[in-house]
Amino acid sequence: MRFSYTLHSIGVIISLIGLAMIAPLFISIFYQDGVYFAFIKSILITIFFGLSLYFIFRKKSNKLSHREGIAIVAFGWMAAGIFGALPYIFAKVFDNFTNAVFESISGFTTTGASVLTDIESLPQSILFWRSLTQWLGGMGIIVLSIAILPFLGIGGMQLYKAEAPILVVDKLRPRISETAKALWKVYVLISAIEVFLLKIGGMKLFDAFCHTFTTMATGGFSTKNISIGYFQSAYLHYVITFFMLLAGINFSLHYRILKGNIKDVLKDPELKFFISIIGIFTFIICLNIYKQFNGILTSFRYSIFQVCSIITTTGYTTTDFDKWPTLSKIILLICMFIGGSAGSTGGGIKCVRILLLLKHSYQELLRTIHPHVVYQTKLGKKIVPLDVINGVIGFFVLYIVLFIIFSILLATLGMDFMSSISAVAATLGNVGPGLGIVGPAQNYEFIPCLGKWLLIFCMILGRLEIYTILVLFTPEFWRK
């Protein structure tokens, strides 16, 4: 592996993070919130390190190997999280490095787990930076999952090689920039529409931008202590619910809609599965919590909002669902594992993998009845290759094993059972709020320092499809 090429590319990523900090700097100056100097220092340090790596390790070739691609993705995301923590440190938002990195990684991985106890007391520029990190991370995930990971053969995402709207599927090429531009246009367009709808619904422009950033990224950071529950408006709740749904759908489908291929989109098997799951879970929870709210319409609004928020791994809350009946909490816990669609900003196992696992399991059941019949797993009209099925099964098993291991590790630090498993489920699935001491009315501040680092690792693992990180720990990856 060419380390010079890898470091050169990571230098580009770090430099872009530094440039992104200019936006909250202007916000700080505009609102005169007193922390503009913290952003100036962060910008100078970040761009200095980024440009140093860029110029010292100049690349001599545009060809990218699989191992270099994996290294750039993994270390680039980690670097973004570390340098993204600088504004929190210089603005003295946190008094320790761990909390600053936790908040930053939670932003860039679009997890939304927070260690802040009083969000509304923060300067506007810091609130804007929190939201912006999620918006940037969300777009990065779309490009990563549609245009990069399928071609690196990571995590069973090979299935979506054909979903890249422009890229040739045989190998990575410079034309990946064309794919990124197309996806950026869709992402920005939908974001602009949401800002407009939130603004006309009575939300302040600053809050509209911040919540749009974190909705489209399915990140869940809010400018309010009680999240979306602060806005007692059915209109705003439904607008955000709708855009959470859009963000949880494969963005290549949005691209197809803009190209006029609406019929093909409506036939997409993963989309139909995703919508069906949301409908079923919403119906069950709506009946389960009906007695806690005044009227079926109110019950439905809270149900569909929370189901969409958790299954898309956004993590917004309009009420403390930790006080809901056990059945509703179990359903929401299941949603944390399912996650959004492949090629979306959502986390979790992903709907397409769950769908393929169910189809494959059913075929194995039929095979016990008719052992001599050859069954083929199909997704729509496409026959899914066996190596993809094996990749999906491997990913699922690894996901569950990691969930169990990290839950046990958190429990050994003194956390109760429900808090341990929900904290790991919420960070590994990039959801944010969990149950117990990390529930919607609480946060991650009271988790021990070591536990926070374990959850930071969970956030990165879940966001980068697990294999991207774990492969770095294998000796074969580093051998020539």
The pLDDT tens digits of the residues spanning 370-426 come to 887 777 888 888 888 888 888 889 999 999 999 999 999 999 999 999 999 999 999
Alpha carbon distance 150, 256 (integer Å): 19
One-letter amino acid of 296:
I
Higher per-residue pLDDT: 181 or 107: 107
Number of domains in the chain: 1
In a domain, 400, yes or no: no
Quote the DSSP letter at residue 148: I
* Each residue's pLDDT tens digit, 109-151: 999 999 998 999 999 999 999 999 999 998 887 676 555 555 5
Cα first-last separation, the chain: 7
Q: Say whether pLDDT at 11 is over 50.
A: yes
Quote the DSSP letter at residue 145: I
User: Across-strand partners of 468?
Assistant: none
Question: Do 35 and 28 contact (CB within 8 A), yes or no?
Answer: yes
Give the model's pLDDT for residue 177: 62
In a domain, 372, yes or no: no
Give the model's pLDDT for residue 62: 59
Give the model's pLDDT for residue 162: 38
Q: Which is nearest to 464 in space by CA: 139, 11, 74, 176?
A: 74
Mean pLDDT, residues 299-308 taken together: 96
Give the model's pLDDT for residue 170: 33
Residue located via tokens 């019949």: 373
In a domain, 163, yes or no: yes
Question: Do 78 and 33 contact (CB within 8 A), yes or no?
Answer: no
Name the H helices within 312-465: 326-338, 351-369, 386-412, 417-428, 449-463
**Pick from 52-56, 61-65, 174-178, 199-203: least confident:** 174-178
Band the pLDDT of 273: cuts 50, 70, 90.
very high
* Each residue's pLDDT tens digit, 201-226: 999 999 999 999 999 999 999 999 99
Give the model's pLDDT for residue 308: 97
In a domain, 204, yes or no: yes
Q: Which is nearest to 426 in space by CA: 370, 356, 347?
A: 347
Question: Do 27 and 35 contact (CB within 8 A), yes or no?
Answer: no
Higher per-residue pLDDT: 50 or 183: 50
In a domain, 423, yes or no: no
Band the pLDDT of 12: cuts 50, 70, 90.
confident
Alpha carbon distance 232, 230 (integer Å): 6
Which H or E run contains 382? strand 382-383
Give the model's pLDDT for residue 386: 84
In a domain, 422, yes or no: no
The token pair at 350 is 């992903």
Alpha carbon distance 335, 307 (integer Å): 7
Band the pLDDT of 155: cuts 50, 70, 90.
very low
CA angle 449, 453, 459 (to 5 degrees): 140
Q: Which is nearest to 286 in space by CA: 306, 312, 266?
A: 306
In a domain, 393, yes or no: no
Alpha carbon distance 400, 421 (integer Å): 11
Question: Do 39 and 25 contact (CB within 8 A), yes or no?
Answer: yes
Residue located via tokens 């607008």: 239
Q: Say whether pLDDT at 65 is over 80.
A: no
Q: Say whether pLDDT at 295 is over 70.
A: yes
Q: Which is nearest to 302 in space by CA: 332, 274, 276, 330?
A: 332
Q: Say whether pLDDT at 179 is over 90.
A: no
Burial of 263 (0-12, 13-18, 19+ CB in 10 A): exposed
In a domain, 419, yes or no: no
Range of the domain at 10: 3-229
Orientation of helix 124-143 relative to helix 97-108, angle to 10°: 50
Distance of alpha carbon 120 from its chain centroid, rounded? 24
The token pair at 16 is 């872009």
Contacts of 124 (CB under 8 A, 6+ apart): 27, 28, 31, 33, 206
Q: Which is nearest to 181 in space by CA: 212, 133, 146, 210?
A: 146
Give the model's pLDDT for residue 158: 42
Which H or E run contains 101? helix 97-108
